[in-house]
Homo-oligomer: A and B are copies of this chain.
Amino acid sequence: MSFTRRHFSKIAGMAAASVLAPSALRATGAEVSGQKIGYCIVGLGRISLGHFLPGLLPSQHGKVTGLVSGSPDKAQKVAAQYGVPAASIYTYEQYDQIRDNPAIDAVYIGLPNSMHAEYTIRAAKAGKHVLCEKPMCTTVEDARAMIAACNAAGRKLMIAYRCQLEPANLRAIALIRSGAIGQVEAIESAYGFNIHPGEWRLNKKLAGGGPLMDVGIYSLNASRYLTGEEPQVLSAYSSVIDRDGRFDEVEENVGWTMKFPSGIVASCNTTYGANMDGYYKVHGSNGIIELSPAFGYDGIHLRAQVAKPGGGQGHDEIDMPAPLKDPQQFMVEGDYFAECVVNNKPIKMSGEEGLRDMELIMQIYRAAGMNTACITGGTQDAGSGREV
């Protein structure tokens, strides 16, 4: 790791906008293993092994205390690497036994999308807090059930929207809220990649949907956190162009447009057929903010042109270099959740936040299926769209 605790503290402060002092680490109704929250990692795939687990290594407030995997060999190897006792390795069948492991305070769910709901609900029933990867699940009904289960158990549920803790994204939000770029008029965003055949993401039963579920959700969620509004109406198109067997179950491309109550129009694209670097541009009356890349594990870069204070000629240039390197975003995420658990603080990337995206994803899919969708009956600007 190329960063220090001291460095981390600064980053975490920037990212979570809170001070994570050791004195803050007191249990408030949750079981806490000493100074650190104990995470049980559910699913030892790419995101767990390559990102979340390495992110816990330098963590102040989180550590790995359990593993759930269908592959005993892999689990034993990871357990040895991270110092997890053999008794804290579980198969999926044994998963409910985490209830009896006091070293496990929370689970991190890094499973294929369609398994999120079941493993969240079982964790809640076992008395554990849940940090669940996005998309939250694959249906609105599952999202509601996940929230209900965590509420019923008195346990926290967070969806892993790490960009909402990432400094460049937070800076973009702060610049917008400060009025630095004036009135936001339009947002453009895209994220996609050219998928390899055989990925579980192409299996609708596991993934729930195509690129919209997987990476389009970044543009969707960003449009909401950048505007601070909920879309009023939206429209969408999807298509399959490459008839090469990859897209027999899920869509290849989705383009969708959302109009927000203020009048801001957001245009988003996602694909599994082309490498589309995740980015967004926020067009304001007095400036522009561009994050490119905006959503990756590494190298997120903000560039902005904002009007000079006092109305001077020209613009000030803001060029914010990428402050976090992989897996630091995961460290911040794991620590933010731990801090919310320990201090019983509200979580901004709550289950309700995930539910809102799930509802919108379904509305986008419906819109793509029938060319239009109406989200709410809210009034619109004269001369602009009206509901059909």
- Residues A266 and B271 in contact in the complex (CB < 8 Å), given A240-B381, A369-B383: no
Docked pose: A324 CA to B44 CA in angstroms: 55
Minimal Cβ-Cβ distance residue in B for A239: B263
Across the interface, do A237 and B253 meet the contact criterion of CB distance under 8 Å?
Answer: no
Chain B residues lying within 8 Å of A1, measured Cβ to Cβ, are none
- Residues A241 and B263 in contact in the complex (CB < 8 Å), given A188-B188, A235-B372, A274-B186: yes
Chain B residues lying within 8 Å of A369, measured Cβ to Cβ, are 383-386
* A317 at interface by CB-CB < 8 Å: no
- Residues A185 and B274 in contact in the complex (CB < 8 Å), given A374-B371, A384-B251: yes
Chain B residues lying within 8 Å of A372, measured Cβ to Cβ, are 235, 371-372, 388
Across the interface, do A385 and B241 meet the contact criterion of CB distance under 8 Å?
Answer: no
Across the interface, do B253 and A256 meet the contact criterion of CB distance under 8 Å?
Answer: no
CB distance from A188 to the nearest CB of B (A): 6
Chain B residues lying within 8 Å of A268, measured Cβ to Cβ, are 267
* A265 at interface by CB-CB < 8 Å: yes
Across the interface, do A194 and B285 meet the contact criterion of CB distance under 8 Å?
Answer: yes
CB distance from A94 to the nearest CB of B (A): 39
CB distance from A177 to the nearest CB of B (A): 16
CB distance from A231 to the nearest CB of B (A): 10
CB distance from A309 to the nearest CB of B (A): 18
* A259 at interface by CB-CB < 8 Å: yes
Hey, what's the 0/1 contact readout for A239-262 against B, CB within 8 Å counting as 1? 111100000000111111101001
Chain B residues lying within 8 Å of A67, measured Cβ to Cβ, are none
Docked pose: A190 CA to B282 CA in angstroms: 12
CB-contacts of A107-159 with B (<8 A)? none
Minimal Cβ-Cβ distance residue in B for A256: B257
CB distance from A372 to the nearest CB of B (A): 4
Chain B residues lying within 8 Å of A60, measured Cβ to Cβ, are none
Docked pose: A239 CA to B182 CA in angstroms: 16
- Residues A239 and B254 in contact in the complex (CB < 8 Å), given A190-B188, A274-B284, A369-B386: no
- Residues A240 and B384 in contact in the complex (CB < 8 Å), given A190-B186, A271-B186, A371-B374: yes
Docked pose: A163 CA to B257 CA in angstroms: 26
Hey, what's the 0/1 contact readout for A290-319 against B, CB within 8 Å counting as 1? 000000000000000000000000000000
* A104 at interface by CB-CB < 8 Å: no
A contacts, CB < 8 Å to B? 182-183, 185-186, 188, 190, 192, 194, 233, 235-242, 251-257, 259, 262-269, 271, 273-276, 281, 283-285, 288, 367-372, 374, 380-388
User: What are 20 residue pairs bridging A and B, where the CB atoms are less than 8 Å apart in the complex?
Assistant: A182-B274, A183-B241, A185-B192, A186-B271, A236-B385, A237-B257, A239-B264, A240-B384, A251-B383, A253-B263, A255-B266, A269-B283, A273-B285, A274-B283, A274-B284, A274-B285, A276-B283, A368-B384, A369-B385, A369-B386
